[in-house]
Structure 1
């Protein structure tokens, strides 16, 4: 290779320059210039409508076909040397594109393997090992890459060995209960005992907090809640402060000995969760006023970090964190370290109602220091740590003790010297320390939150695919100790479940760029998706929610209070605070010259009775209902009516088969009644003739009656013979009418015809006539 391109190997491939750079018309070489001309010529080809017009000319088609054949032949000659199994086809662009993509991936994989081998990452006896060059110490360092996206900088390294492979403790990613790692309990009131907690069904849900008793009895010492006699001293700059990197057990012991002699320390944790399932704590930063800044390499001395319990569980020492909810759990999970005596500056910022709650805002407010948060998504597994990451980690705790002193003074000042506001922050911090770590468990509905956040609408096939892929991804992540988002990102998972591609190429289109895990399990993914495609699309049977069903029977319930102010973002209030809030609401709703009372929006418990609303749309309304809530209720009613009509149609169809028998029974009953009535009349007439009371005229009348009766009997006999025909005609008529009625009933339901009055009590609120409405309009 040319020495200008690679000074380390001037004799490697010496004729490469002649092939690529030499421009000799006689020898027809100069690869770069030919590639450039080819690209320019390709860009000059017609596109879109122009290409369709050119295709109408035979000469153009002949030239393009010939060029296509030449390109395929030359490409096959290139690929046959490295990939003999790959062979392109003529006039099959989709197949050729797929094969070229696979060939490029294969070439790039070999290049990456060669680079890793030269850097010493690959083992010498690896099956893909292509070079026998021995790795030297200078190439052991990771290849660091920086990517700037807006105000955030991603720092990652290519050849970082997985640190969990060197851990002495085994990582359990199963769904079994997480067992606390604590083996010694310093500063205890109650000796160490790991008690299992059970739920109402008798199932084990976790272990009791080892320091529960100590936390229940904790009260901050007097010096923490009393005003400081002197203002705090502003810390020195980073370059003027002592810094210690702790990466050995001896250095950790020296740090613990130093911490036993201080009363206050600032702590922060750096975490990595992208290349592991549960996450890894990579750094612990500690700052003290006496000793400066410390950074503990928890990946190097993971099995010795539990020694910090001697200081972290001492209730006489103050541990200052910012946003300690996750830090507390990570320390428990990885090291069995617990905290007693915490002050969270994030909770203090909430108590002071600050506009910004982040550490960056606090540092700028109290220290006038604008910290650089561009590296907050860095890969903290990189060793040795770059200087920019060391500085970033130090700033998280360097000024934190000064911030704690300033916030303490402000909390006392706001409360007029009383410590109740400061004690409330200590109480919130104590609740954070009382939390216990538990492993994530996958349930049958674990995929629902992801589906809700996506704001998509899936049918039964798509939901089945999402559920199957979600559970399979989680099981694979546990087995390989990788994060689920590294294996298959959430947006790709949703795309696969939504599209349900029939072909493998469709899976490739949904996963671009394709992660390595999907590439390795492409056929498995495709089979799972096809199995979900074979499922029937079941209709969704709508069931009215319990909240709406309860509102249908308003007469048996008491309407809830309608509060205008949204207080959901505030914590739950006690009884005394709730009473104060009611008084405040009464004051806010007090009528004045600038405030007009609208009965629809006044809480019912403040008016002393339910607000009576008269509306042009619904004169029987008792309470104002927002339009969207009304729509939801009407929709459920309409759906119930549709289901009811559908069931009635099914009953009608089932009754058609029984119609023949019902008609026959009815006809036979009528014939029997008619025959019995005629016989009875004949008997009566004969009895009259035997008495002899009647005259000759009467006898002639009797004979006439008998003849009429005989004619009627003969006619009814004919009707009896023709009864089966009548039955068949009636059956046909019923079927035709039923089918016609069903066809008319299948029209879509119009929401405007919904009965709005079903949500209100018609008994307690009588209907008003039109005159009342007109009077109200005039007012």
Structure 2
């Protein structure tokens, strides 16, 4: 086994491209390379409010490895023009596409080694594990949670970042071979194309206060109004200073304050659970938010009213017995099919899609109508072809069972 950690041999050294002149020279070299282009991006999640890329790594055979500083370079449309028609190789592309788009990098065709490994049935699909399994190389991952907004970036971080892309073309070939052996090349192609066409991840802002860790334990509309106001105040301040909200005041502190409903700034400061590096330096800010929540005339509820979600399956027996019967019949058959195809069941058909079509199947029921329904919920062609007959048969059996029960009851 080859060791790709810095300790294994004299480590390479890398520099970060920060100027437009250096950037354009790199673009020319990349354009003259061979084969697909490997791309990765490093953000500062957990440290910064934004999800922008603070380092973008590019590798192409015959060209080399290039580490770009997006905040310094700005929009990178020249690079996009040079590589747009090529296959871009990622590991977990969905994590990087949004931040790459911010600087003008928009692939037309991708190969995702993480998703490909998942489709090939590998039990663990993290980059380090897949590289070790398929290439026999140990890849150190000690800087995966680093603050990539740090400047200057340490040499060991740059080595880590470079290895992430230098191995991707070889990994892409190994994963592609697995997929071809298993007859899944076309399946993977459809999945990769779907990653590119998915809408951008919705922002967690707006109603994000509902996802406060521990907010489910807050009782009462007034308490929830305070939780909401505190979350909004923290979010606005975090955006202003580009800091991850949880680094200012953790969720647990906001929840503790919302439960306590302090009657004064002094009482707020006395809550022992109200901690965090900005809990006291910005005490007036948090107290103003609490006053806003206490004075609010619109008291929120924890659950979002309306929406297109279906109830949790445990409630189906009472609320929709026919749907309950359909889901109980079809779900184990989909699990069995996934095992037969050596696919994670969620990649064969998402649980949400199966629940939705079970809750409200098309009427009149037919395989063709079910196929259309599955497609409307985002199922790809290969998923529909693999599952529609199984789903149709299970739903027909469920309807027959319901009819027999009704006849027996009458």
TM over 0.5: yes
Give runs of aligned pairs for residues 256-405 of structure 1, distance below 5 A. Answer: 256-261=27-32, 262-303=34-75, 305-314=76-85, 317-333=86-102, 335-405=103-173
Three-state SS of the structure 2 residue aligned to 1:467 is: helix
Once residues 553 and 482 of structure 1 are traced to their aligned partners in structure 2, the CA distance between those partners, rounded to angstroms, is 46
Structure with bigger gyration radius = 1
1:254 to 4, 25, 29: 25
C-alpha spacing 1:509/1:345, structure 2 compared with 1 (3 Å): farther
8 A Cα contact 2:14 2:155, kept in partner: no
Give runs of aligned pairs for residues 69-80 of structure 1, distance below 5 A. Answer: none
- How many residues were matched structurally? 352
Once residues 152 and 282 of structure 2 are traced to their aligned partners in structure 1, the CA distance between those partners, rounded to angstroms, is 34
Matched, 1:448 2:241: no
8 A Cα contact 2:128 2:139, kept in partner: yes
1:409 to 158, 177, 184: 177
C-alpha spacing 1:535/1:412, structure 2 compared with 1 (3 Å): closer
Deviation, 1:393, is 0.8
Once residues 10 and 88 of structure 2 are traced to their aligned partners in structure 1, the CA distance between those partners, rounded to angstroms, is 24
Three-state SS of the structure 2 residue aligned to 1:561 is: helix
C-alpha spacing 1:475/1:248, structure 2 compared with 1 (3 Å): closer
Once residues 383 and 481 of structure 1 are traced to their aligned partners in structure 2, the CA distance between those partners, rounded to angstroms, is 15
Normalized against structure 2, the TM-score is what? Answer: 0.72
Give runs of aligned pairs for residues 636-651 of structure 1, distance below 5 A. Answer: none
Q: In the alignment, which residue of structure 2 is the partner of 1:561?
A: 326
8 A Cα contact 2:13 2:159, kept in partner: no
Give runs of aligned pairs for residues 368-767 of structure 1, distance below 5 A. Answer: 368-415=136-183, 421-435=184-198, 437=200, 440=203, 442-443=205-206, 445-450=207-212, 454-510=215-271, 514-529=275-290, 532=293, 560-564=325-329, 565=331, 569=346, 570-571=349-350, 572=353, 575-581=384-390, 605=397, 608-610=400-402, 765=409
8 A Cα contact 1:241 1:293, kept in partner: no
Once the two structures are superposed, what CA deviation does each residue of 1:346-398 show, in whole Å capped at 9, x if it has no partner?
11012111101111111111122222222211111223321221121122112
8 A Cα contact 2:87 2:111, kept in partner: yes
For structure 2, the 5+ residue unaligned runs are: 335-344, 354-378
C-alpha spacing 1:276/1:579, structure 2 compared with 1 (3 Å): closer
C-alpha spacing 1:610/1:296, structure 2 compared with 1 (3 Å): same
C-alpha spacing 1:454/1:387, structure 2 compared with 1 (3 Å): same
Once residues 462 and 407 of structure 1 are traced to their aligned partners in structure 2, the CA distance between those partners, rounded to angstroms, is 51
8 A Cα contact 2:36 2:89, kept in partner: yes
Deviation, 1:546, is 9.7
Once the two structures are superposed, what CA deviation does each residue of 1:223-257 show, in whole Å capped at 9, x if it has no partner?
xxxxxxxxxxxx9x985878564233222222211
Normalized against structure 1, the TM-score is what? Answer: 0.40
8 A Cα contact 1:267 1:397, kept in partner: yes
8 A Cα contact 2:56 2:69, kept in partner: yes
